[in-house]
Structure formats: structure tokens, C-alpha cells
Amino acid sequence: MATHNAQLELKKTSFISLNRIAVIAGHTFTQLVRMKVFYFLVAFVILIWATKQIIFPNETGGSGSPEQELRLLKSTGFAAMNIFSLLLALASTALLIPKDIEDRTLYTILCKPVPRLDYLLGKLAGVLLLILVSLFVMDLILSLFLHQKLSGMIAIHTEQLAARGIPKEAIQEYLARYEAHGVTANIHYATLTIFLKAMVIASIALLISTFSSSTLFTIIATLVILIIGLIVADAREYVINMAAIGQESKLVSTALAISILFPDLQFLSIEDGVIDGRTVPFSIMRQILIIALLYVATYVVLSWFAFRKKEF
């Protein structure tokens, strides 16, 4: 039997390491990219291109609203961005941890000096990086097509109005209202809020996947929370209105109290305003950013509590 002549000085492992998180995030990003998830960008380009081709009758000299085409392009773009980013957030996050457990790759990672918080944050960061890159590309595509569409419309309308003998200043004034629907900072703000919603959904899926044993359950439970998140503001308003007219029920009030646990996704949505051509104040963006980060931080902390003692 060997003698006990040696004790190793075990290396101290920091509680959290940005380097380790970056390694896991980079790996998760590569894993998802190699699953060919970026193919949906092709579908996005086709969708936006097809929408750009739609011309309403008023465009060719009718009396309707020419901004409708720009609204349609924006609303299609934002809807597709919402769907793609939420699907990516939901499916990727729900799939990754259970797959690591099932394949036992998690054993080989956690047997290295990797704190479980680093693992969770790395996985989440990898998914969010993928969504961020996807949304950045989609934002570029939407902006490009929107710019092309607007430029084309302005050229046609300038020509048509000039042919009617309308003065240049009046034409400029008339076309200025189109430009509110063009590529402004508001488009990018809307993209940012879509990313923030995807962040919240990904962190919810992460939380559920830490205690769920099935990917299907994680996806369904997160979808339910997503739906609740989309209607929770309306439900809250309804209860408040009922209470105001003295028709308050204990059950509904309790449900309202519980609803605090769910994210208010309506609050994080500014796309409707941007589609209407309204300007988004910076103060609103700041509020949305803070609320979204608070949601994400809460769900990540809860995930860590559920995961740190989990047995494999």
C-alpha cells in the first residue's frame, strides 16, 4: 500500500467565473448553430420580400392610406421576429439541460471545477447570444427592405404629385408622414424589446428545466406561462375595474396576487406603437430594460436554487 506522503494543494475555484461562463456560452452557441437553426433566416427573408411585394390599390393613385404597406411590412417583420425568437428561446433552453443529463455529458462537465451557476449562466448566455445574433440579422433585413420600400414609394408619389402640379414644399410636407414609418431608431428599439421578451422566456424555460424531468413538460409549462404573461395585464385591469364597481371576488383577487409571479409581457411590448409610427421615449425603454433584467435575474436565481443541490 502506498504511503501517505503527499497532499495536493487543490486549486481554489472562484464562485463565478466569466471565463468559464464564456466557454460554456460559446460552446452552446456553436452547438445550436451546428443544429442549423439559422435556416429560419432564409424563411424570414422570403417572408419579408413577399410582404414587400404587396401593393394596395391606393398606392397606384387611389385615395387610401399609403402607410398601410409600410405598417404591414413592419408588423409582419415584428411578428416573425417575435415568433422566431420566442421559439428559439423556448426550444433551445428547454432542450439543452435535459439533453446534457440524458447523455451524461453533464457528468463530465460538473466533474471538472465548474460551479453549477457557471454552467446555468453559460447555457443561458449561449442561447441568448444565438437569439441576439438572429434578431440583429432580422433587424438588418427588415430595415433594408423597409428602406427600399419607402424609397420606392417616395419616388413614385413625388412623381405623381409633381405631375398634378403640386408645389415641391407641399410634396415634401406630404411625404414626411411616410418617413415616420421608415427606418428609425424605433425599429431597433422594438427589436431590442423582442430580445428582452425572449430573454425572459428563456430564463423561465431554464428555471423549469432545472426541476422538470421532461423536455415536453418544460416546453408546455413555459408556453402556459408565456400565454399568462401576454394576458396578465388585461386580467389585472379587469379585476381592478370590477373592484371599482364593487364586484370583487376573493378567487379573482387571489389569482391576481399569484399573477405577480408571472412576467407581464405586454409591458415589454412596444411593437404596436412602432408599427403605428409613434416615437418611443427613452424613459420607456429604460423602464422596460430594468423590468426585463429584473425578471431574468429573479428566474436565474430561482434556477440556481433549484439546480445547485440537484442530484444526478
Is 104 among the residues that bind other proteins (CB under 8 A)?
A: yes
CB of 1 to other proteins, least distance (A): 6
Q: Please give the grid coordinates belonging to residue 21.
A: 461562463
User: 36 or 250, CB closer to other proteins?
Assistant: 36
CB of 307 to other proteins, least distance (A): 12
DSSP-H helix ranges across 54-167 = 67-102, 105-110, 116-163
- CA–CA gap between residue 239 and residue 252 (Å, rounded): 7
CB of 311 to other proteins, least distance (A): 4
Contact stretch for other proteins (CB under 8 A) within 86-94, 100-108, 179-187, 288-296: 100-108
Interacting positions 112-141 with other proteins (CB under 8 A) = 112-115
**Site residue total, other proteins (CB under 8 A):** 37
Rounded to a whole number of angstroms, the distance between the first and last alpha carbons of the chain is: 33
- CA–CA gap between residue 211 and residue 120 (Å, rounded): 13
- CA–CA gap between residue 172 and residue 168 (Å, rounded): 6
Q: Please give the grid coordinates belonging to residue 124.
A: 443561458
Is 245 among the residues that bind other proteins (CB under 8 A)?
A: no
Is 24 among the residues that bind other proteins (CB under 8 A)?
A: yes
Contact stretch for other proteins (CB under 8 A) within 22-30, 137-145, 159-167, 223-231: 22-30
Per-residue binder mask for other proteins (CB under 8 A), 2-21, x = binder: xxxxxxxxxxxx-----xx-
Is 162 among the residues that bind other proteins (CB under 8 A)?
A: no
| All residues at 6 or more sequence positions from 245 whose CB lies less than 8 Å from its CB, including other chains | none
User: 24 or 196, CB closer to other proteins?
Assistant: 24
246: left (phi over 0), alpha (psi -120 to 50) or beta: left
User: 111 or 251, CB closer to other proteins?
Assistant: 111
Is 109 among the residues that bind other proteins (CB under 8 A)?
A: yes
- CA–CA gap between residue 115 and residue 4 (Å, rounded): 29
Count other C-beta atoms under 10 Å from residue 55's C-beta.
14
Q: Please give the grid coordinates belonging to residue 19.
A: 471565463
Q: Which residues bind other proteins (CB under 8 A)?
A: 1-13, 19-20, 23-24, 27, 30-31, 34-35, 103-105, 107-115, 309, 311-312
